[in-house]
Amino acid sequence: MHREFRKRLGNAKGVSEFPIVANVDIRGFSTWSLQVDSAQTGLFIKRVYAKLLDRYLAEARYFKPTGDGLLVILPVDEDRPKAGVRKAVTQALKIVADFPGLTKGDSAVNFPVPQEIGIGLARGPASRLVSGNKTLDYSGRTLNLASRLMDLARPQGVVLDGAFGTELLTPSVRRLFTDEHVYLKGIAPRKGLPIFYTSEYTNIPASAKQPLDEVKWGEGTWETKLRELKAIKIANFEMPLDAIPVDPSTIKVRVRHDAFGPTGKRLAKQWMGIDLTPSDYSYDATGGKPTIEIALGAVRKYLEDVHINEAWPVTITAVFEAA
């Protein structure tokens, strides 16, 4: 496939279009994939891609995987967009509602799988890279916008660009969405833009509701090693933070360490790790001293599962927007 792509680049050209762009992301996939066998990961993602494309996104003009989701280009008549807009939103809502049971009944998927999915939808200009009658890729602001909106659709749900066309939706579907004004990195960092989101499923963080050039960031850092973690007898570790978070629910706690190859050899200037799930840490500000309480069992389990050298340094970092 990559060789054909390179061969076709020679006579490729850009064509302007006005499609609907959907960015679909399986929530918690990265953390889940570390807890199961790689064969299970591959089987699940293959089944999910097939079901999404066959059942909900069959009209897609173009699609490509994004690691734990899909980027999908959907058709819309730029002169009469109502049908395309309604179809895209309706199918996105169905995907969110159906996702927990998407692989239910599939005898091959006999193991626990992620239960939530987030979708960003945007409509506008995009550039299609074409060679002959084959589409090689899509690019443009609308694709970037769909990606940013998808990132807001947490823990799950659908987020629409404010210019998507909610006035074209049926009243019953329109009532499922709540409006908000957000600021997006690389898209609308200072002036922001309007969005609509599924309030039943989605929580827009406070950090997205103020200009990004006014954001102050805080953190907390702890340097340790697996052998030191094994020697600690307490269940939780209190890590001090250098500021008070604007919204404690948006704190991200990350475990990072040097990367290594299949033989265990350390790879220079490369790292790997995970973001802990919110259930593995909690915020506390008793006495005016902000701290994060981290479940050491979760950290130890991850490091043991990846078979890291017990003497290698491990960095645990909390990152958040500071008040």
Q: Domain-by-domain residue ranges, the chain?
A: 11-211, 216-322
Between 177 and 286, the higher pLDDT residue: 177
pLDDT exceeds cutoff 80 at 196: yes
pLDDT higher than threshold 90 for residue 67: no
What is the C-alpha separation between 125 and 205, in angstroms, rounded? 28
What is the overall mean pLDDT for the chain? 92
Kindly report whether the global pTM for this prediction surpasses the value 0.85: no
Q: How far apart are CA 153 and CA 159, in angstroms?
A: 6
Looking up tokens 């840490």, which residue turns up? 281
The answer to whether residues 230 and 310 touch, using CB atoms and an 8 Å cutoff, is: yes
Rounded Cα distance, 201 and 118, in Å:
9
Cα separation of the two ends of the chain: 49
Longest CA span, the chain: 67
Strand partners, 295: 236
Averaged over 175-185, what is the pLDDT?
95
Q: What is the number of residues in the chain? A: 323
State the DSSP H helix or E strand holding residue 38, giving kind and residue range, or none if neither: helix 38-51
Is the pLDDT at 287 greater than 80? The verdict is no
Q: Looking at mean pLDDT, say which of 8-12, 98-102, 131-135, 254-258 comes out highest.
A: 98-102
Ramachandran area for residue 233 (φ above 0: left; ψ -120 to 50: alpha; else beta): alpha
pLDDT at 1: 67
Q: Which CATH class is domain 11-211?
A: alpha beta
**Can you spell out the DSSP letters for 194-253?**
EEEEETTTB---GGGGS-GGG-EEEEEEEEEEHHHHHH--SSEEEEE-SS-BS-GGG-EE
Q: 141 in helix, strand or coil?
A: helix
- Cross-strand partners of 137: 129
Strand-pairing partners, residue 275, are 254
Q: Please give the Cα distance from 139 to 62 (Å, whole number).
A: 12
Interatomic CA distance for residues 320 and 248, integer angstroms: 8
pLDDT confidence band for 160 (50 / 70 / 90): very high
214 — pLDDT class (breaks 50, 70, 90): low
The percentage of residues in the chain with a pLDDT greater than 90, rounded to a whole number, is 73
Rounded to an integer, the average pLDDT of 289-298 is: 93
DSSP, collapsed to helix, strand or coil, labels residue 125 as: coil
CA distances from 244 to 208, 247, 251, 283, 319 (A): 17, 9, 11, 10, 11
